[in-house]
Amino acid sequence: MSSFHEQLERYADLIVKVGVNVQGGQQVFVSGAVEMAPLVRLVAAKAYAAGASNVHVDWIDEALSRLKYEHAADEVFTVYPEWETAKRNAFVDAGASFISIVSPNPDLLKGIDPQRIGNFQKASGAGLANFRRAVQANKMSWTVVAAAMPDWAVKVFPGETPDEAVRKLWDAIFAAVRLNEGNPAEAWAAHNAALHKKVDWLNGKRFRKLHYRAPGTDLTVELPEKHLWVGASSVDSKGVSFMANMPTEEVFTAPLRGGVNGYVSSTKPLSYGGNLIDGFKLTFEEGRIVAAEAQAGLDILQRLLDTDEGARYLGEVALVPHRSPISQSNLLFYNTLFDENASNHLAIGSGYAFNIEGGKDMSREALAELGLNNSATHVDFMIGSAEMDIDGIAGNGETVPVFRKGNWAE
């Protein structure tokens, strides 16, 4: 058994080599919390060892963020500082890699004036628009990875002391990113190849529809004619392969906005805005959610569906085998980076432009014409189980088994 420090070093190596795949002479922009300093420093060391010309760290201090929300003047939240925008854009222009190390803390802004939070989200959205466009178009390599901190850990492991919860959460993260396998980089290469094989198979089949069957689920999802399945590694504008999320277990595409019919039941609780929605069932007619029921959190589910008209339609269909390591852990992480990789899922709300052939260069209107849903929201919810069967229905009516008993049919 290797020591915690050795594990952390292997993790840092994986983030640099497989996550963003740092190239010689490249700059690296890291964002992470001050409490993660041991990991952040290891990431910087590994990046320099891989030939990085410069590593810049944007430190996050959640306690200071909270103090600012409590005490700073109102106007601080309505304007995103120009120098922050300029700094971010300078790294985008330099073709830097971006590493974001997250440790979700759903309670961080509990009790803060929602107006201040909303104002800041709007201001930072505008200030970082260029950066976000560059990320969405994969202009440069980027990755989002997780670190265990006490606030998150005690949510995942309630009843444990914070120290014990953090230790358990690190173990869960390390297992989810395949760090316990002999050579993690090789394990990722094999995992990536396996996911791309599924992507290629699905794209070759050109299914018109998917038909889901499970207890509480009988759902038909039509796919746009120009749908594209994607998954695992992406390629940036310089041809460098990178892994935008670690862990990642899904292959996914966009549903046809008006082509979803039947009903589907959730198989894991959905954590939304700090609240849990559990045991819910959605009924669809021509793409639209026409009925919703839930054993818990129905009012929160209704609020989500009322975000805008697009929140009544689906934007993503993702396939994840029930055998995946995160599914086997049986943990609820209260975080999409992990929870969406535990199970087959759908997303309420906006679809991704890159799930349509040539979509990255199309307007939202052109994408809508091809059947891609648009909304201000995108929320994944889990529907997979060991009892789920999925058939693909081809253009000629041929039915092909895609999933049997929760796993790939072949």
What residues line the site for Zn ion (CB under 5 A)? Answer: 250, 316, 318, 340, 347, 380
* DSSP states of 75-102: GGGTS--HHHHHHHHHHHHTT-EEEEEE
Cβ contact 305:292 at 8 Å: yes
Q: What DSSP designation does 20 have?
A: I
Residue of 188, 184, 155 lying closest to 169 (CA atoms): 155
CB of 381 to Zn ion, least distance (A): 9
Cβ contact 165:156 at 8 Å: yes
CB of 111 to Zn ion, least distance (A): 29
Query: Which structure tokens are listed for 325?
Result: 């390591």
> Which CB, 236 or 340, lies closer to Zn ion?
340
> Which CB, 5 or 360, lies closer to Zn ion?
360
> Which CB, 318 or 388, lies closer to Zn ion?
318
CB of 347 to Zn ion, least distance (A): 4
> Which CB, 36 or 379, lies closer to Zn ion?
379
CB of 340 to Zn ion, least distance (A): 4
The helix or strand, by DSSP H or E, that contains position 132, with its residue range, turns out to be helix 129-136
CB of 130 to Zn ion, least distance (A): 23
> Which CB, 380 or 391, lies closer to Zn ion?
380
> Which CB, 222 or 340, lies closer to Zn ion?
340
C-alpha to C-alpha distance for 47 and 66, rounded to whole angstroms: 31
Residue of 199, 158, 226 lying closest to 318 (CA atoms): 199
CB of 318 to Zn ion, least distance (A): 4
Residue of 356, 180, 166, 340 lying closest to 245 (CA atoms): 340
Query: Which structure tokens are listed for 130?
Result: 């260029």
